[in-house]
A = this chain, B = another copy of it.
């Protein structure tokens, strides 16, 4: 397989690949989302993260409502070509729709879940 043919394999996941999103400077894992081929190509073309919303069944231009876009710094493909890692700079500092830096703001402990993440904004203020 030549270098130019190394592309995500959208056939395994019904046209979607999972995408892990990591903040460039801190290394924090911000979120996980999905892309179809159209979202992937628009992301590469524009340098801003575009996903496919499984719940809405349409392209999701991250930050379109909140202004909290993700500027793409690096796109990495895994060994099986069925998962992407997007290294981004998250504008506004929060990737999560409930206002945390990262969607992974709760730790599972033997006593239950504990909030460990940092809240950056109040969603009621951002999504009016």
Q: Which residue of B29, B80, B106 contacts A22 across the interface (Cβ within 8 Å)?
A: B29
Neighbouring B residues of A79 by C-beta, 8 Å: 96-98, 100, 103, 105
The distance from the CB of A126 to the nearest CB of chain B, in whole angstroms, is 14
Interface residues on A, range: 35 or more
Copies held by the complex? 2
Q: Is residue A46 contacting chain B, with contact meaning CB distance below 8 A?
A: no
Q: Which of B74, B76, B83, B106 contacts A77 (CB 8 A)?
A: B106
Q: Which residues of B contact A78 (CB under 8 A)?
A: 31-32, 103-104
- Mark A residues whose CB is within 8 Å of B: 2-7, 18, 20, 22, 26-29, 31-32, 44, 74-80, 83, 85, 96-98, 100, 103-108, 111-114, 116
